[in-house]
Amino acid sequence: MRVLITNIGELVTNDPALGEGPLGIVRDAAIVVGDRVEWIGAASAAPAADERLDALGAAALPGFVDSHSHLVFAGDRAAEFAARMSGEPYTGGGIRTTVAATRAATDDQLRANVARLVGEALRQGTTTIEIKSGYGLSTADEARSLRIAAEFSDEVTYLGAHVKPADGPPDYVSLVNGEMLAACAPYARWVDVFCERGAFDVEESRSVLKAGIAAGLRPRIHANQLTMGGGVQLAVELDCASADHCTHLSDADVDALADSDTVATLLPGAEFSTRSPYPDARRLLDAGATVALATDCNPGSSYTSSMPFCIAVAVRDMKMSPSEAVWAATAGGARALRRPDLGQLSVGAAADLQLLDAPSHLHLAYRPAVPLTRLVVRKGTVVSRQRDEQWPDHSLSVGAGPLLNASSKLELPHKGVPK
Ligand code: NIG
Ligand code: FE
């Protein structure tokens, strides 16, 4: 089944060869999708397809690629948030509170929580979401977290090295690199470590990432979130796909990122929710580093699933232009996951896209906290429709087909991505 989406006022392709500027914008555009993008161009030149959807002049862009989240948990830490807003600092110490709640939860409770958050994200335009473990911190609890995460995403990350649990063995790193890794690796594509004072130092972090690599996982890292440690340098040394947070960077860190294939993934939800200074996106971009934006969705430091929120904050407070922020939330996230098939709309790319209830991608930052994502297509099928009262059904589609028979299920059915 091929579907033609036409009358797109502004189509962000992220392929500069296809249109204007770094976002490769095509105006008065159309796109033909099956599982993958089959054709892109001027609406006036569009070929026929099995089904036709009229975008009514709205903007379309790739689905967001949220390359950093911690969705497998139970409970919340609203009281900790309130205390921070009254002046308490964020230290990461609350992670252990969530570990206790997560261990006490049933598989179905954890699964329902992930489904709820993945659904929230999907309705806000996220078509790919990376999910980490890290609130189990025992072999059985980490393996079960990853097993559940893998039900929702192919981009699953083993974070046994989140913090050292109070009840863990004295040499917790040996457990993370041994029995726990063996139990977790079958469910994961990535290995991550929280390289930070009070969590894992550089030497420990290097050993965790190297053990993961030896087990067939690919490395990424929580680096330089709370202090200016050696996490970013380690990320570059090990060719991590991404160094995440990057809030406290030396000039040497910025240069190292700019000269590497490691993406600097910025997580403004964390600074927002911990009332911390934002990372200096402008400095990274001006140096030539690749920047991604992600939510870091977790119950402690950043309890938001909203990529549009992250875009708005990055533009307002991190001196990113709206175009840079939209690129970072789509193509940037895809680079941070080393998924060249995602984050752009060009022939052969995944047919993951969203239509906005707005004429331009600029509105994602210009209209903060307004749910602008109108329709989300994943692998050529509608997976979310919102704001139908303002955009009548009859204008969306004619004839039967995948877009009309849209599944209402909220999970992201990722399958078939090579390890
Ligand atoms: O990315 N920094 C470590 N991990 C999470 C926070 C987890 C928590 O506070 O529960 C983060 O911000
Ligand atoms: Fe995180």
Task: Count CB atoms within 10 A of the CB of residue 42.
Answer: 12
pLDDT digits (tens, 9 = 90+) for 43-66: 999 999 999 999 999 999 999 999
Closest ligand 1 atom to residue 163 Cα is: 3
DSSP string, 302-364: B----HHHHHHHHHHHS---HHHHHHIIIIIHHHHTT-TTSS--STTSB--EEEESSSSTTHH
Structural domains of the chain, count: 2
User: CB of 135 closer than 6 A to ligand 1?
Assistant: no
Ligand 1 centroid, distance to 260 Cα (angstroms)? 25
For residue 73, the ligand closest to its alpha carbon is: 1
Mean predicted confidence (pLDDT) in 386-404: 45
| Long-range contacts, 249-256 (Cβ 8 Å, 24+) | 249/224, 249/279, 249/280, 249/283, 249/284, 253/224, 253/228, 254/283, 254/284, 254/287, 254/289, 255/287, 256/232
**pLDDT at residue 358, as a whole number:** 96
CATH code at 253? 3.20.20.140
pLDDT digits (tens, 9 = 90+) for 364-388: 999 999 999 999 999 998 888 875 5
118 and 80 housed in the same domain: yes
Average pLDDT for the chain: 92
Q: Which residue segment(s) compose the domain that 242 sits in?
A: 65-336
User: CB of 330 closer than 6 A to ligand 1?
Assistant: no
pTM: 0.94
In a domain, 405, yes or no: no
48 and 150 housed in the same domain: no
Statement: residue 125 has pLDDT above 60: yes
pLDDT digits (tens, 9 = 90+) for 139-197: 999 999 999 999 999 999 999 999 999 999 999 999 999 999 999 999 999 999 999 99
Ligand 2 centroid, distance to 63 Cα (angstroms)? 21
317 and 375 housed in the same domain: no
In a domain, 19, yes or no: yes
Mean predicted confidence (pLDDT) in 31-37: 96
**Which protein residue's CA is at the shortest distance from atom 9 of ligand 1?**
300
User: CB of 222 closer than 6 A to ligand 1?
Assistant: yes
155 and 301 housed in the same domain: yes
72 and 157 housed in the same domain: yes
In a domain, 414, yes or no: no
Kindly indicate the confidence band of residue 389, based on its pLDDT and cuts at 50, 70 and 90: low
310 and 229 housed in the same domain: yes
Statement: residue 391 has pLDDT above 60: no
- Cα dihedral 206, 211, 215, 220 in deg (nearest 10): -20
393's tokens? 């059904």
Closest ligand 1 atom to residue 68 Cα is: 1
CATH code at 348? 2.30.40.10
* Distance from chain centroid for Cα 167: 31
86 and 227 housed in the same domain: yes
In a domain, 46, yes or no: yes
**pLDDT at residue 93, as a whole number:** 87
197 and 284 housed in the same domain: yes
185 and 226 housed in the same domain: yes
59 and 156 housed in the same domain: no
Which one of 336, 367, 382 terminates a domain?
A: 336
Which one of 289, 306, 336 terminates a domain?
A: 336
**Which protein residue's CA is at the shortest distance from atom 1 of ligand 1?**
296
In a domain, 208, yes or no: yes
